[in-house]
Structure 1
Amino acid sequence: MDLALLRTFVTVHRAGSFTRAAALLGLSQPAVTSQIRTLERQLGRPLFLRQARGVTPTSIGEELAHKAAPHLDALVEIAEAGLDDEAFRTLHLAGPPEFTAERALPALTRLTRDPGHDFAVRAAFGTTEEVLEGLSAGHHDLAITTARPRGALFSVAPLCDEEHVLAAAPHWADAIGPVQAGPRGVTALAGVPLVEVHESLPFVSRYWASVFECRPTVSGAVIAPDLRAVLACAAAGAGLAVLPRYLCASAVARGDVVALHEPAVPPLRTYFLVVRTGTLALPHVARAHEWLLRASADWS
């Protein structure tokens, strides 16, 4: 059986789509279709069921993927191990702008300073949907997301939890006074402008639901699609904001903003570290993946 056909088959199985697999393999979609048909003729059984959106494996396809994928991944690892140790690789990382800039990139920078870990880093920012699309298309090696992706194409590891803080400039804190949990807390915040990253108020809505047991009833006064800009606007007095603790901790310590409430159980958001299944066989991807997981133990 041709190993190239098996590689194409495993890629389609993981991608769930001939088109997506073609992008990962650097082939045309008709070439991928032709290879799968060739393999199906050799086996005398269909491997995929064609659907309106992508493909799903048959029982024979699942069995073949279960048997073949680990061996193909091992071959990739063997091939990579045989490369010159001095080869300089480029790691392509994608994730949300604030977390990637404040957490992931500084950690990887420390790794790249180690003489034993020679690779360059290229970063891209985007939403979870955008970075997963780029990862599935082969544009990125590692992705940081705020939602756990599903499907055989991706391998996922929880990275860390992000604690959220309700914060505002000191004059707002003085005007509002103590904020209680539950519906009474919302009453104390009535009339205070909101600063957010999107019109849908994703951070405020999550905090309101978790702490105040309701939904926000006003729109944002300032919308800026970067949490660092949201923090700057809140510190300037534009209104209250819900911010990751790691991002606003220094501003709170300086007194630029004040934490308005400290709930017993603060709202959290989980980050995930995602790779395409099989790519941890690549040494530079595996090293960066392990390093970020190790570094995240100190993130809070």
Structure 2
Amino acid sequence: MQLRVVAINDGAQGVRVLRLARSDGADLPEWEPGAHLEVTLPGGLRRHYSLCGSRADGQEWTIGVLREERSRGGSSYLHDGVEVGRELTVTGVRNLFPLVPADEYVFIAGGIGITPLLPMIETAEAAGSDWHLFYGGRRRASMAFLERLEPYGERVTVAPADECGRIDLGAALAAAPRRALVYACGPGPLLSSLEEEATAAGLELHVERFTAAPLPASVQNATFEVQLAQTGVTLEVPADRSIVEVLEDNGIGVPSSCQEGVCGTCETKVLQGTPDHRDSILSDEERRAGNTMMICVGRSRSSRLVLDL
């Protein structure tokens, strides 16, 4: 799908907000809170950005792009190489972070992690749910979309680290209703700490990560085989290569993007064998079922995997 950039704004220091629309003015597909958009950039780069506009606006999609200090080309291009009128190639919305209906929520955002939570808050407010947002960042000037949160008043706690330190996650969850669902997005250290606090508080936690969760130091890679069911080809995956890399080495192209198991682009059906899941997407139930895996990071607990490729 080709979408035109119809407006660009500075959401905060280091954050660019792009509004996208069809050139013919037609409505865009509907989407649900938590959905993200895949943008294809020059050189074949694919990057994912959460939709953060209002779902009531059927003609525009909005994304917020943080300028990454160690950009691999995605954020720098969208900050420096895109102007109003430029067309971008995007893939339709995908939602790996859906909002489960509930009467009570706690939302926790770190930095640009506010983007997927904005439409969730809008939806929770419209449904009459009780909710509170804890929004942390390095400094107020770098925290995007503060003006959109102002109308919610005391439902929002803004915590710039240079003014008041980091969010007290323990206190935030201790004050939450026992039936509240916790939704969080932000840097890895924030989410890792939050997982511990949510477990201790007995609260149900839903997270979306920018990067993969760290693996235990004890994890080791072993060589295994992958059989491609559609062709019968069998390939060896050595300890120092991923399934995606081995496929590409053998001229077999598969959709992939993040290479970290956080975007879901490479999700592949498993027909036989036991996957070693190392992504940050699948639920515990999906991991136990072993019906799909993210082949950019996942490996095998059995000597062979048969994939639907």
TM-score (norm 1): 0.26
Max Rg structure: 1
* Higher-strand-fraction structure: 2
* Higher-helix-fraction structure: 1
TM-score (norm 2): 0.26
